[in-house]
Amino acid sequence: MENERLRAMGQNATDITKGSKRESLNPVSNDNRLFGLTTYITLWISSMVVIQIFMVGQSFLPPAGKLNIFQAGVVTVVSALFLGFLFVINSRPGIKYGIPFIVQARSSFGYNGARIASLIRVLPAVFWYGIGSWIGASAMNFVTQTIWGWGNIWVYFIFFQVVQTYIAYFGMNTIKWFDSILSVVVLGFLIYITIQLINVGGLKIANTWNTSGSWGMPFFAAITASVGILITAAINNGDLSRFLENKPGYNAIGHFVGIVPMYIIILGIGVLSAAATGIWDPVQALVSVIPNPVVAVAMMIFIIVAQITTNLTINIKPPALVLMETFNITWGLSVIIVGILSIVTFPWLLISSSAFNTFIAFYSAFLGPLLGILIADYYFIHKQKFNVVALYENTIKYNWLGLGSLFIGGIIGVIFLPISWMVSMPISAVLYWIGHQYLPNYKSKKAGNGVDVTY
């Protein structure tokens, strides 16, 4: 019976286009998946050029941080591997059942509660969208100042928003091909930047090996920031993985090949930039090691393209999907609303603030619990078996155990802000699991095989 109902749901169009509404969030059958392994990997290669990750890497070394370059390298590798692991395990429900993040979250938080929980994911995305656009506008301003001697960063910022909104407006297929085609260009520029930083700042980089650094709180705070900046994407990656063909090995290969190496490169470039230049502003830091204006202009164009590919995959899609699901408005309208909201986050203030890493730690204090609960629910409560039809029925409006565990973990994460998600993620996951084992209301819903009969 359940399989017949799933097939009936799958008859609806699940591809996301400009006119799509809530029904496009129905399960995607394996016959209708948009991504093969190659296009999925190339999508992530282009999407991982996140200048904000570059900025986190810059903050590891003095004067902003307290690590030496070896410790920063350890942070980079550990964070990349851990992120790859999080992507793989939390993408599994999307790949297996073809469901997006907000539907997956209904199991842990209830039909309406999932919308509350999703706000914790989408609000940072809106902020990052604005920040990425401001970085892109800064790059555009540099290009026109260099070539023609004039520029206006505010005009470019609005123009940047309009271009990204236009590309995203037409749906998932447009995003897929735009990001995939540009992946080769992105990878080539990254290799060039790395070589140039080493050539220009070789002596300064070598000197950072001689500093004592710290293996204490600054080291763990650096891991917190490094993982925290992308933990958002790991939470809702079901929105993308539901379009990946469900074949053996595709989950692990797609994420460890598409995400981990690129993440190491971007974070590593930030570390090298800090050692070679000591400049915080990412645009100024990269320009300072470029040998001539022609290459500098090409580099700024690369930054512009990189911010667009990142925003399309990581920052526009999540809030647009949540708006579409919550209010049953079209995808196109959702994209426009998200673009407007990202402007009123005042990214020009946040990116220049000394509280940049604090901002990451604060929101990841609640994102950690959200991810921990999703993982505990799927793997330990449901044993990787969802009743997918029930997830689309508004029978349980709120799962107060999930919401309560999320709130408690988030508050504890704020208390331990420098290592926020490291503390809050396991606490919320354990609280959620214990509740299902011992609270009568939740224990009584479990069948003899340990699988919740509702979901």
Task: Write the CATH number for 197.
Answer: 1.10.4160.10
- pLDDT value, residue 445: 61
Tokens 């392994």 belong to residue: 37
**Hey, CA dihedral for 386, 388, 393, 398, is it positive or negative?**
positive
Rounded mean pLDDT of the chain? 84
Residue 15's CB is within 10 A of a number of other CB atoms, namely 13
pLDDT-derived band at 204 (thresholds 50, 70, 90) equals low
Q: Is residue 444 part of a domain?
A: no
pLDDT digit string, tens, across residues 392-425 = 998 889 999 999 999 999 999 999 988 889 999 9
Please state at what angle helix 420-438 crosses helix 356-376, rounded to 10 degrees: 20
**Top-ranked range on mean pLDDT: pick from 92-96, 222-226, 262-266:** 92-96
Task: Identify whether the C-beta of residue 92 lies closer than 8 Å to the C-beta of residue 379.
Answer: no
Task: Compute the C-alpha angle 217/368/108, nearest 5°.
Answer: 160
User: Which DSSP symbol is given to 452?
Assistant: B
Report whether pLDDT(452) > 60: no
Question: What's the average model confidence in pLDDT over 375-379?
Answer: 97
- pLDDT value, residue 376: 97
Which residue has better confidence, 282 or 134?
A: 134
CA dihedral 158, 285, 304, 152 (to 10 degrees): 30
Question: What's the average model confidence in pLDDT over 121-149?
Answer: 86
Q: Is residue 407 part of a domain?
A: no
pLDDT-derived band at 3 (thresholds 50, 70, 90) equals low
Question: What's the average model confidence in pLDDT over 173-183?
Answer: 69
Which residue has better confidence, 4 or 50?
A: 50
- pLDDT value, residue 101: 95
Residue 366's CB is within 10 A of a number of other CB atoms, namely 25
pLDDT digit string, tens, across residues 318-347 = 899 999 998 999 999 999 999 999 998 888
pLDDT-derived band at 274 (thresholds 50, 70, 90) equals confident
Q: Is residue 386 part of a domain?
A: no
pLDDT-derived band at 449 (thresholds 50, 70, 90) equals very low
Residues spanned by the domain of 161: 33-364
Residue percentage of the chain with pLDDT more than 70:
86
Number of domains composing the chain: 1
Q: Is residue 269 part of a domain?
A: yes
Tokens 């063909």 belong to residue: 245
Distance CA(231)–CA(322), nearest Å, equals 18
1-10, 204-213, 376-385: lowest mean pLDDT where? 1-10
Question: Would the pTM count as exceeding 0.85?
Answer: yes
Report whether pLDDT(367) > 50: yes
Q: What is the 3-state secondary structure (H, E, C) of the chain?
A: CHHHHHHHHHCCCCCCCCCCCHHHHCCCCHHHCCECHHHHHHHHHHHCCCHHHHHHHHCCCCCCCCCCHHHHHHHHHHHHHHHHHHHHHHHHHHHHHCCCHHHHHHHHHCCCHHHHHHHHHHHHHHHHHHHHHHHHHHHHHHHHHHHHCCCCHHHHHHHHHHHHHHHHHCCHHHHHHHHHHHHHHHHHHHHHHHHHHHHHCHHHHHHHHHCCCCCCHHHHHHHHHHHHHHHHHHHCCHHHHCCECCCCCHHHHHHHHHCHHHHHHHHHHHHHHHHHHCCCCHHHHHHCCCCCHHHHHHHHHHHHHHHHHHHHHHHHHHHHHHHHHHHCCCHHHHHHHHHHHHHCCCHHHHCCCCCHHHHHHHHHHHHHHHHHHHHHHHHHHCCCCCCHHHHCCCCCCCCHHHHHHHHHHHHHHHHCHHHHHHHHHHHHHHHHHHHHHHCHHHHCCECCCCCECCC
Distance CA(43)–CA(45), nearest Å, equals 6
Which residue has better confidence, 299 or 380?
A: 380
Question: What's the average model confidence in pLDDT over 359-383?
Answer: 90
Distance CA(140)–CA(150), nearest Å, equals 11
pLDDT digit string, tens, across residues 11-62 = 445 667 788 888 889 999 988 898 899 999 988 988 888 777 888 888 888 7
Q: Is residue 449 part of a domain?
A: no
Q: Is residue 175 part of a domain?
A: yes
Question: What's the average model confidence in pLDDT over 212-235?
Answer: 90
User: Which DSSP symbol is given to 27?
Assistant: P
Structure tokens at 135: 């970085």
Tokens 């349980």 belong to residue: 396
